[in-house]
Amino acid sequence: MKCIIDRRAQFSASHRYWLPEVSEAENFERFGACARSPGHGHNYVLFVSMAGELDEYGMVLNLSDVKQVIKREVTSQLDFSFLNDAWSEFQETLPTTEAIARTIWQRLAPHLPIVRIQLFEQPELWADYYGNNMEAYLTISTHFSAAHRLARPDLSYEKNCEIYGKCARPNGHGHNYHLEVTIKGEIDPRTGMIADLVVFQKAVDDYVVEPFDHTFLNKDIPYFAEVVPTAENIAVHIRSLLEQPIRNIGAQLHKIKLIESPNNSCEVYSTEAEAAVTSMSVREAAMVK
């Protein structure tokens, strides 16, 4: 039986975004505060996903052995390091979140049956790498607060209450929405980036967070004058708002995840093909490999 196990690890390290082949002015124009010397630090959290058959002891791998491999090959070398100098790979490619994830894969792949590397630079920024050459995924998370009412204008109040329950009450109700936006793209071999992170964040802020925050969605967002602002419909609308801006920065919008409450969330993908690939479990992906 195939099974996937995950091992968590962490390390603290600093890095600097700086290309010596361009001027100081251009470095600061491209990387902003991340170009400042001597760099800045993060508490990185790493998840290593591994696939295999269950053995007679009910294990895919001995986690004590996995822990030692990750420590030997990754965390002991990166913890309390300046990443730009820690590994030779970062002399060629800047140590961005996505580039670090890819390099960790390359370091661990000879020793462990890995199927995914997920690296959190901070709780609001992380990268996923699946071993597909230079392709990686980058996610930012953010939030906005808004009110909505779930009711179709063509139905009676009684019918809306039958369908939507308390959510159909006339004055609406509010949520602190948590939004995750994932993009996909090729890692630039020099900058280490899928896309300019500052521009990515600005697109999400400009097209979603600022227009949606502290609004009554049904009245303040024209799209929802006729479309019921369920979490699903909000996510679909956010996808349509962001697809072109994300293409403009040289990446592809992969997924929108909207968490309406701790109990309710939804995900929509850029295309049906993306959804089909992503919904396939890591276990199934491992079987294909």
Which residues are designated catalytic? 167, 214, 260
Outline where DSSP puts E strands in 163-263.
173-186, 215-216, 252-261
Query: Tokens representing 283?
Result: 């276990």
Q: Does residue 138 contact residue 182 with C-beta atoms inside 8 Å?
A: yes
All residues at 6 or more sequence positions from 176 whose CB lies less than 8 Å from its CB, including other chains? 143, 145
Question: What is the Cα–Cα distance from 7 to 48, expressed in whole angstroms?
Answer: 5
Closest CA to 66 of 53, 79, 75, 57: 75
Burial of 250 (0-12, 13-18, 19+ CB in 10 A): middle
Q: Provide the CB-side half-sphere exposure for 280 (13 A, CA).
A: 12
Burial of 151 (0-12, 13-18, 19+ CB in 10 A): buried
Element (H, E) at 158: helix 157-164
All residues at 6 or more sequence positions from 153 whose CB lies less than 8 Å from its CB, including other chains? 226
Instruction: Report which residue type is found at 135.
Output: E
| H and E: helices and strands count for the chain | 13, 10
CA–CA distance from 119 to each of 72, 111, 129 (Å)?
18, 19, 9
Q: Does residue 151 contact residue 118 with C-beta atoms inside 8 Å?
A: no
